[in-house]
């Protein structure tokens, strides 16, 4: 069964002392009871859910054996084979910016500091801005998030922009979805998550096709 997972940038797992993975490699746990969140090879049904557990930027497509246990965002198996892996750092940063921009628009945020940090993040992604510039924009965005306190939608949207600058794509997406919900009701949040999933899939498809 095909599934999705993230490894650290050095191709090791988030926990334990296993050696780095190699593309095409299959590993099997032969001893012990496989338990969700305790023991076994974990994976997710899509990259969006896999981000909840990411400890690095290496996006992985995997093949797993029969699921022993599962919940809504992950599953655990005895075997896992690494089909392909790509460094998704820039992709995740770009996606986080997309999510944050939508949140700012929906929440009608006009504070230029929140918008500027996204612009700087995009430039940084292209090698056209420095870490110092990024850090300065991030600090300004944090101040903007604090200034928005009291309005749930604006606060969440500003936080999403700040998260994008921290390269915490999952947090940026969640804040963006919360902002959409706060601005227009819970249904808007659900719709935003669907959009985020489609957008992330689009980015990941391009990444693995080498585009």
* Token duo for residue 183: 């601005």
In DSSP notation, the chain reads -EEEEEE-TTS--SSS-PPPP-TT-EEE--SS--BTTTBSEEEBSSHHHHGGG-SSSEEEEEEE--EEEE-SS-EEESEEEEEEEEE-HHHHHHHHHHHHHHHHHHTT---HHHHHHHHHHHHHHTT-S-HHHHHHHHHHHHHHHHHTTT-HHHHHHHHHHHHHHTT-HHHHHHHHHHHHHHHH-HHHHHHHHHHHHHHHHHHHHHHHHT-
Q: What is the pLDDT of residue 63?
A: 98
| d(C-alpha 183, C-alpha 179), whole Å | 6
Question: What pLDDT does 183 receive?
Answer: 57
Tens digit of each residue's pLDDT, the chain (211 residues): 999 999 999 999 977 788 999 999 999 999 999 999 999 999 999 999 998 888 889 999 999 999 999 999 999 999 999 999 999 999 998 998 998 898 888 888 888 988 998 999 999 999 999 999 989 988 888 887 777 666 778 888 888 888 888 877 778 887 887 777 665 555 567 888 888 899 999 999 999 998 7
pLDDT at 162: 81
């Amino acid at each position: 069964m095909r599934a999705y997972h993230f490894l650290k940038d050095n191709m090791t797992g988030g926990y334990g002392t296993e050696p780095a993975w190699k593309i095409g490699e299959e590993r099997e746990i032969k001893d012990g009871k496989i338990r969700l969140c305790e023991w076994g090879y974990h994976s997710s049904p899509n990259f969006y859910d896999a981000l909840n557990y990411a400890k690095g930027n290496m996006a992985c497509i995997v093949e797993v054996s029969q699921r022993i246990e599962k919940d809504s965002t992950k599953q655990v198996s005895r075997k896992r084979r690494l089909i392909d892996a790509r460094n998704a750092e820039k992709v995740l940063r770009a996606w986080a910016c997309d999510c944050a921009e939508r949140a700012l628009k929906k929440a009608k945020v006009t504070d230029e500091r929140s918008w500027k940090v996204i612009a700087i993040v995009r430039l940084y992604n292209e090698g056209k801005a420095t870490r110092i510039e990024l850090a300065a924009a991030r600090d300004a965005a944090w101040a903007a998030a604090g200034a928005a306190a009291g309005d749930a939608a604006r606060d969440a949207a500003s936080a999403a922009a700040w998260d994008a600058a921290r390269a915490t794509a999952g947090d940026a997406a969640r804040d963006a979805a919360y902002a959409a919900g706060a601005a227009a009701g819970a249904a808007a949040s659900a719709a935003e998550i669907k959009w985020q999933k489609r957008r992330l899939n689009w980015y990941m498809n391009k990444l693995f096709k080498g585009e």
